[in-house]
């Protein structure tokens, strides 16, 4: 194979395609149960929640707000200013769910909601219950704080997902009517508002609307919002002055600090470091990548690359978490990755995975898929409990429950997953990720099928005008073997590009039992198996999963002298449940061997890692002393057990650490 022939075009219009979700059927030991939980537990729970039927929980009022706006009930608006988005997030998850698992009752519920939305929409297209009910005269007067376009964006995403599932146009028509109104309101033309939302989201959502409607107006508007962001004078400052310096949130947001918080400190093309609210950053990046790819805007793509590089090489936790402080749920600065005062919001990792997916479609490099996988297998599924009923906002890498309770600097860190939240962003975000997981497995570029994730199931793929089927069978991430079967009606020439993950010590590929030399066909982290495929061809991929002692760059002061254990895509941790309290008293000797061992009865079946380590044994000598120059540390040998990070906090309240001392 000639490598040069595979040099990827820098023509950004030649991007990879996704496989339509309904062409993919996941059947996977590891993932299917999560997807099932999302469909059978979380979506129904969410439905009850937005209908105010959860006992012991503050009523959401989300559906009720729409019913009141629709004139079906009387009453007042209740909830957060972005309460509408809870309905959209439910509807989007329903849309994804129906694409793979038709369910007439669920569809009926959704149709009824859509009918209400239709009635609630104003005649000019506007649709936001907070402003309709509470501040009808103040539309678009506080874009920084009031999430108006953010809510619109989530609705557009829901509309597209539901339309894709059902082919029913109604919800799409409501969305387009609203989008048309937004387009008539915002833009560079005189008389329009020259602004954007405080929370990026509408940009990527308008892009989705453009893709499904092919109406270029939405693409143009998305690009406008992106390019206007960070223009001087500052739009949010101007709006603030105009409305008499009134803040929506008590205490407001410091105007200078706020510029980074909202990513308006610089035009986005000039932003080379990820600053401010982490979710906002990655949502902005998604829109940037979409527009860059579609319009062939290499400068915009370069900005995406810069932000990507800054995040993954300087500001990302090993678990794929991002956001180093709870204050502003924000990025801080390069290599500042404290494990205990961390934020690492679940939604931010979801956004990072989505951003990675877009970058991967533009440039099929395994480093993007590596990060997507890291976020998925660690922080994202870690965000949900094993029963689908508890959720983390914050995903810490070091927890002492007593500190969470008694040191207010760590109050935002919870040692157990919470039932639901006043600001219900993370649970529905996990749901939509799980219900759309199939989208992230493959991408197709001309005659190349990229296998980015190893998840069992089948996919019907159109490659170079041929319909083929790819079946994966695997016990990944526990086992090293992935079996791929190709189904095709007639002999078909295409390249099956198999991602060789960054963590993989050594990979082996056999095609119909014939060993392939990977080094000869490796390109940008993929093994490019190009051949004329016949029905029933089998590829056996062995991804060696050595147990890795990961070190952080020494500039990460929080991790100095420590290691994190990783096997395959999974980062591991120590929990008090297995190793007793005061985990910081343990160190892992450099020479200690780690052994992988599957425990079928533990946490739904997990591969645990065991080692002989050392733990301080002479605490009792200290008695009431706090400091001493005389007491020398003594250590006992102990057996320790690591469990996958995603599975922590499913056995009651206890300590947890990812980074373990090594010496």
Q: Does 574 bind its own copies (CB under 8 A)?
A: no
Cα radius of gyration rounded to whole Å, the chain: 25
CA-to-CA dists, residue 191 to 123, 187, 195, 366, angstroms:
21, 9, 12, 46
Is residue 51 within 8 A of residue 86, CB to CB? The reply is no
Q: Does 341 bind its own copies (CB under 8 A)?
A: yes
Q: Determine whether 201 is an active site residue.
A: no
Provide the residue count of the chain: 663
DSSP annotation of 110 reads: H
Q: Does 265 bind its own copies (CB under 8 A)?
A: no
What is the x/- site pattern for its own copies, positions 219-258, by CB under 8 A? -------------------------------xx-----x-
Q: Quick one: which of 231, 327, 423, 515 contacts its own copies (CB under 8 A)?
A: 327
Q: Does 318 bind its own copies (CB under 8 A)?
A: yes
Q: Quick one: which of 409, 512, 517, 637 contacts its own copies (CB under 8 A)?
A: 409
Q: Least CB distance from residue 309 to its own copies, whole Å?
A: 7
Closest to its own copies by CB, 513 vs 628, is 628
What does the alpha-carbon distance between residue 42 and residue 566 come to, in Å, rounded to a whole number?
Answer: 29
Closest to its own copies by CB, 87 vs 318, is 318
Closest to its own copies by CB, 270 vs 411, is 411
Which of these segments, 115-123, 161-169, 324-332, 454-462, binds its own copies (CB under 8 A)?
A: 324-332
The sign of the dihedral angle between the CA atoms of 94, 99, 102, 107 is: positive
Residue of 145, 203, 275, 329 marked active site: 329
Q: Is 74 exposed, middle or buried (0-12, 13-18, 19+ CB in 10 A)?
A: exposed
Residues 6 or more apart whose CB falls under 8 angstroms from that of 244 comprise none
Is residue 366 within 8 A of residue 633, CB to CB? The reply is no
Closest to its own copies by CB, 228 vs 367, is 367
Q: Quick one: which of 22, 325, 462, 466 contacts its own copies (CB under 8 A)?
A: 325
Closest to its own copies by CB, 173 vs 340, is 340
Tokens representing 346 are: 């679940």
Q: Does 400 bind its own copies (CB under 8 A)?
A: yes
Q: Quick one: which of 332, 385, 488, 650 contacts its own copies (CB under 8 A)?
A: 332
What does the alpha-carbon distance between residue 345 and residue 310 come to, in Å, rounded to a whole number?
Answer: 18
Closest to its own copies by CB, 123 vs 628, is 628
Question: What strands, in cross-sheet order, belong to the sheet with 507-511?
Answer: 24-26, 457-463, 466-474, 481-488, 538-543, 507-511, 514-516
**Spatial CA neighbour of 394 closest among 328, 330, 331, 326:** 326
Place of tokens 């997030």: 89
Q: Quick one: which of 548, 596, 602, 603 contacts its own copies (CB under 8 A)?
A: 548
**Spatial CA neighbour of 552 closest among 350, 356, 330, 316:** 316
Q: Does 593 bind its own copies (CB under 8 A)?
A: no
Q: Quick one: which of 63, 81, 291, 316 contacts its own copies (CB under 8 A)?
A: 316
Cis peptide before 267 (omega within 30 of 0): no
Q: Determine whether 423 is an active site residue.
A: no
Q: Does 653 bind its own copies (CB under 8 A)?
A: no
Query: Across the chain, which distance is largest between two alpha carbons, in Å?
Result: 80
**Spatial CA neighbour of 492 closest among 541, 536, 456:** 536
Tokens representing 480 are: 């090293």
Q: Least CB distance from residue 83 to its own copies, whole Å?
A: 23
Q: How many residues bind its own copies (CB under 8 A)?
A: 61
> Which residues of the shown chain bind its own copies in the complex (CB under 8 A)?
250-251, 257, 309, 312-314, 316, 318, 324-328, 330, 332-333, 336, 338, 340-341, 400, 402-403, 406-409, 411, 503, 548-557, 560-561, 564, 566, 582, 584-585, 587, 616, 619, 622, 624-629, 631, 633, 661, 663
Residues identified as active-site:
329, 425
């Amino acid at each position: 194979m000639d490598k040069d022939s595979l040099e990827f075009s820098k023509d950004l219009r030649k991007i990879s395609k996704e496989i339509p979700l309904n062409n993919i059927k996941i059947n996977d030991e590891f993932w299917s149960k999560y997807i099932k939980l999302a469909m059978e537990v979380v979506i129904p729970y969410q439905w009850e929640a937005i209908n105010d039927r959860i006992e012991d929980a503050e009523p959401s009022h989300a559906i009720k707000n729409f019913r009141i706006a629709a004139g079906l009930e009387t009453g007042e608006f209740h909830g957060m200013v972005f309460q509408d988005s809870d309905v959209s997030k439910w509807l989007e998850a329903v849309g994804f769910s129906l694409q793979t698992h038709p369910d007439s009752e669920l569809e009926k519920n959704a149709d009824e909601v859509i009918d209400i939305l239709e009635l609630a929409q104003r005649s000019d297209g506007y649709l936001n219950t907070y402003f309709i009910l509470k501040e009808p005269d103040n539309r678009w007067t506080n874009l920084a704080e009031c999430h108006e376009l953010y809510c619109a964006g989530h609705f557009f995403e829901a509309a597209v997902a539901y339309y894709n599932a059902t082919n029913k146009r109604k919800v799409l028509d409501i969305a387009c009517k609203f989008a048309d109104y937004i387009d008539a309101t915002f833009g560079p033309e005189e008389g329009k508002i020259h602004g954007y939302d405080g929370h990026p989201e509408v940009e990527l959502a308008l892009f989705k609307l453009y893709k499904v409607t092919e109406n270029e107006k939405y693409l143009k508007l998305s690009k406008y919002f992106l390019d206007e962001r960070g223009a001087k004078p500052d739009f949010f400052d101007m709006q603030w002055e105009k409305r008499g310096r009134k803040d929506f949130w008590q205490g407001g947001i410091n105007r200078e600090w706020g510029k980074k918080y909202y990513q308006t400190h610089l035009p986005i093309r000039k932003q080379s470091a990820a600053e401010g609210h982490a979710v906002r950053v990655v949502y902005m990046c998604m829109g940037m990548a979409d527009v860059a790819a579609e319009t062939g805007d290499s400068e915009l793509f370069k900005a995406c690359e810069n932000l990507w590089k800054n995040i993954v090489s300087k500001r990302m936790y090993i678990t794929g978490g991002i956001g180093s402080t709870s204050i502003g749920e924000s990025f801080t600065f390069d290599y500042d990755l404290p494990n205990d005062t961390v934020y690492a919001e679940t939604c931010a990792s979801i956004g990072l995975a989505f951003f990675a997916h877009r970058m991967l479609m533009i440039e099929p490099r395994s480093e993007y898929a590596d990060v997507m996988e890291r976020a998925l297998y660690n922080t994202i599924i870690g965000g949900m409990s094993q029963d689908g009923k508890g959720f983390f906002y914050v995903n810490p890498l070091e927890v002492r429950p007593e500190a969470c309770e008694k040191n207010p600097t760590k109050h935002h860190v919870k040692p157990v997953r919470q039932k639901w939240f006043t600001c219900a962003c993370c649970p529905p975000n996990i749901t939509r990720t799980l219900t759309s997981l199939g989208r992230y497995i493959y991408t197709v570029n001309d005659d190349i099928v990229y296998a980015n994730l190893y998840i069992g199931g089948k996919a019907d793929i159109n490659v170079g005008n041929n319909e083929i089927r790819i079946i994966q069978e695997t016990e990944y991430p526990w086992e090293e073997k992935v079996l791929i079967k190709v189904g095709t009606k007639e002999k078909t020439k295409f390249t099956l590009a198999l991602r060789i993950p960054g963590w993989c010590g050594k990979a082996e590929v056999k095609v119909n039992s014939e060993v392939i030399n990977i080094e000869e066909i490796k390109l940008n982290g993929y093994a490019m198996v190009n051949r004329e495929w016949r029905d029933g061809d089998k590829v056996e991929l062995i991804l060696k999963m050595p147990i890795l002692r990961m070190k952080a760059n020494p500039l990460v002061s929080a991790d100095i002298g420590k290691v994190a254990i990783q096997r395959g895509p999974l980062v591991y941790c120590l929990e008090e449940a297995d190793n007793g309290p005061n985990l910081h008293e343990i160190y892992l000797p450099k020479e200690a061997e780690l052994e992988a061992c599957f425990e079928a009865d533990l946490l739904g079946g997990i591969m645990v890692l065991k080692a002989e380590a050392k733990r301080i044994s002479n605490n009792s000598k200290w008695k009431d002393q706090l400091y001493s120059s005389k007491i020398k540390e003594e250590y006992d040998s102990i057996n320790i057990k690591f469990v996958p990070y995603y599975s922590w906090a499913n056995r009651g309240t206890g300590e947890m650490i990812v980074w373990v001392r090594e010496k």
